[in-house]
Amino acid sequence: MALGALVTGALMVVPAAAMAAGSAAGAGSTLVAPIEAEWANSFGAKTGNTITYNPVGSGTGIKDISNRLVDFGASDAPMTPAQAAGCHGCLMIPWALSATGVGYHLSGVRKLRLSGPVLAGIYLGQIKTWNDSRIKALNKGVRLPNLKITPVFRSDGSGDTYAFTNYLSAVNGTWKHRVGFATSVSFPTGVGGSGNSGVTSVLESTNGSIAYVAVSYLIAHKLPAAAVKNAAGRYEYPNLANIENAARTVKRVPASNELHIVNPPRSAKIAYPISTFTYAIVPSSSSNAGLLRSFISYAIGPGQQFGPALDFAPIPKVVLNAAKATIKKIQ
């Protein structure tokens, strides 16, 4: 996995001398926060504009832009039809590509394989200890302790929750019918944490824990990620090549720009199966249209250079073209 730095919190990005220029505020996804910080700092340095961003989770980001409390929202989950209606003419623009990793804290264990059904069993409370035969069967030769598993989940509305539960719903019928997938679901068991930073904190402090976390946070905190079994039967890590392989399954982009790349087909041989696009959510009519067009164009253009260090893969050309076309609709 690549090494990168984590930046959280509100992001004030330009020198005082430049503050007379334009400004825009955003809120939402914690997954996109590390690369958004890089975009905002670099864009500010080049243009003199100020971009602030509050990583409050995808669910809150959608609410904030719907209520026009910010200039743009950010979400790793596409808006539902109800959310789209409530946002009153908002556009979804895919602007980054990464993955939700499965991190774990298990003293003495540095390599771990997990499958979708086993992950579902853990989060359903059916698999309770690390030396359960179903986990041991995937990890021949690994010494797994007789230790209670502590599943950790997001307590706030989260795009990572959407991606993770979408994956579990795709590979496990019990999960699909009992829990389903959304930015917020009722987890049958486990401990909650707010934001990727909150979940990471629980993971770091709890031996025996497992958590779904945006990959850049695992990198920043030097936490191990499990290799997750994909549809081709391979166990893959959330590295750049594996995320890119999942995204290559996108051959066309619908008018809404809603994209799903979890659990890609067997033809995506090395795909990491919990990969996800993340979106800027912007009103089609905005008093800040020029700055929003400029900033988002920077993010999907020169701003992509910051991706590899944070485990954000390049956006495929077909998706990039759709994003560019949508940016032009901001008036």
Cα dihedral sign, 116-117-120-126: negative
Domain 16-97+277-327 and domain 100-247, same fold? Reply is: yes
CATH superfamily of 16-97+277-327: Periplasmic binding protein-like II (3.40.190.10)
Contact 229, 113 (CB under 8 A): yes
19, pLDDT greater than 90: no
Q: What is the pLDDT of residues 308-323, one digit of tens each?
A: 999 999 999 999 999 9
What pLDDT is recorded for position 130? 98
In this prediction, residue 8 carries a pLDDT of: 31
* pLDDT tens-digit map of 55-77: 999 999 999 999 999 999 999 99
Confidence of residue 7 (pLDDT cuts 50, 70, 90): very low
Confidence class for position 5, pLDDT limits 50, 70, 90: very low
pLDDT score for 14: 32
* Distance from C-alpha of 275 to C-alpha of 76, rounded to nearest angstrom: 10
The overall average pLDDT reported for the chain is: 93
Model confidence at 3: pLDDT above 80:
no
- Output 14 or 277, whichever has higher pLDDT: 277
Q: pTM above the 0.85 mark?
A: yes
Q: Residue ranges per domain, the chain? A: 16-97+277-327, 100-247
Residue 17 reports pLDDT greater than 50: no
- Check residue 290 and give its pLDDT: 97
Average pLDDT over residues 327-331: 98
Residue 21: the pLDDT is 75
Across residues 140-156, what is the average pLDDT? 97
The domain defined by 100-247 carries CATH number 3.40.190.90: no
pLDDT digits (tens, 9 = 90+) for 216-249: 999 999 999 999 999 999 999 999 999 999 999 9
Alpha-carbon separation of residue 47 from 41, 50, 72, 93, 237 (angstroms): 10, 9, 19, 22, 37
**Cβ density class 85-101: b for 16+ within 10 Å, e for less:** eebeebbbbbbbbbbbb
Q: What does residue 263 show for φ and ψ, rounded to 5 degrees?
A: 50, 55
